[in-house]
Amino acid sequence: MLTVEEVERIAKLGRLNLTDDEKARYARQLSNILDYANQLAEIDVDNIPPTATVVPVRSVLRDGDTVSGQIDRADALMNAPVTEGESFVVQATQASLENSEG
């Protein structure tokens, strides 16, 4: 079982302020999760093929839908304000810059 000290360390890493009751409760809950993960790790899955999904795959296209009328790259770039080779050039937003910095 996880100790309260281990929960405090995890909470510190996540910058979480927990009450003593929450620390005790999370120690029990996280221990239950880890115990269940250990049970799953014991299951023999050597003869089970990997799957990408557990639900049936179905087409989102309606019957009779076909792809047509693809635009030529030159036509797509024709009205762009700024291009570079075969690409659009766009200004980065502050949000995207902040996200890329990690």
Q: What is the pLDDT along the chain (102 residues), one digit of tens a residue?
A: 899 999 999 999 999 999 999 999 999 999 999 999 999 999 999 999 888 888 888 878 787 878 788 889 999 999 899 999 999 998 887 666 666 665
CA dist., res. 34 & res. 40, Å (int): 10
Q: CATH code at 21? A: 1.10.20.60
CA dist., res. 21 & res. 94, Å (int): 41
| Residue 87 lies inside a defined structural domain of this protein | no
**pLDDT score, position 66:** 80
Tokens 């029990």 locate to 28
Tokens 């890329």 locate to 100
Range of the domain at 20: 4-41
Question: Which run of H or E residues covers position 11?
Answer: helix 4-13
Question: Could you give the number of structural domains in the chain?
Answer: 1
CA dist., res. 52 & res. 42, Å (int): 22
| Residue 33 lies inside a defined structural domain of this protein | yes
| Residue 48 lies inside a defined structural domain of this protein | no
CA dist., res. 60 & res. 58, Å (int): 6
Instruction: Name residue 83's beta-bridge partners.
Output: 88
**pLDDT score, position 33:** 97
pTM: 0.47
| Residue 35 lies inside a defined structural domain of this protein | yes
| Residue 34 lies inside a defined structural domain of this protein | yes
Cβ neighbours around 73 below 10 Å, total? 10
| Residue 63 lies inside a defined structural domain of this protein | no
| Residue 59 lies inside a defined structural domain of this protein | no
**pLDDT score, position 95:** 66
**pLDDT score, position 17:** 96
| Residue 97 lies inside a defined structural domain of this protein | no
